[in-house]
Chains A and B, each alone.
Chain A
């Protein structure tokens, strides 16, 4: 399911909801590859769905954020912990111009896939010359 790229508003990740615990900020693992036409970014953000991800592109700075929505099971003791509940955030600088109108974002099973089509260079216009 594709989601629209959202404009950045001034909210910070996690700030609109009061949380009893401090939120850890995690940097998601990413794959980034480039084809002739696009840049594709894939980010692992388990616990995130399309409603809890925010993607912003300002100039050439791409910010990817996500909120993990895990609730601690009640009535249990945490005995072994390798991952924290927290928010994801990672910032990238793009070296290539991107066609913002055609950016596609999709979240499935906690993985964000971001397709950034490269901007087409200004094409030379052919000018018809009429004879007198």
Chain B
């Protein structure tokens, strides 16, 4: 794709293909992909025509303190992580893990059937099964012939 354009020798902007590719990627998740406050856990999203699977790394989080809400084509995950033990009067040698609250909203390429969302939390990974809204599925339209 990139090579083909150059071979025509029309002096195309070499960044055009990259920009086009970026636009295509952005289109998968319209808008700026997500809104978040400060730091947020890492997320992977898989999709097909029927829905999406979202996984988020939430090590050390209490499942009861993870909040998931769905509206339209967006899913918002909110959570809070506290230190597991008192850390007063200690000397820190490394402090890399984020503690505290986060909120992150992901926008999918389709509306979500909220009643059928399933969430599972195992070994610090949250997995959401987000089925596509029935109203959002393409409908076959039959053509009447004379």
Contact = CB atoms under 8 A, between A and B. Distances in A.
Interface stretch (B6-14, B38-46, B68-76): B38-46
B140 interface: no
A54 B8 CA distance: 56
Interface residues of A, number: 33
A46 B124 contact: yes
Contacts of B44: 78, 80-83
B92 A32 contact: yes
Interface string B44-57: 11111000110101
Interface string B80-118: 000011010111111111100000001001000000000
A78 B53 CA distance: 9
A44 B94 contact: no
A124 to B, nearest CB: 27
Interface in A73-124: 73, 75-83, 108-111, 113
B124 A111 contact: yes
12 contacts: A29-B98, A33-B92, A33-B95, A34-B90, A34-B92, A44-B60, A46-B123, A49-B123, A109-B61, A109-B63, A109-B121, A110-B123
Interface of B: 28-29, 33, 42-48, 52-53, 55, 57-63, 84-85, 87, 89-98, 106, 109, 121, 123-125
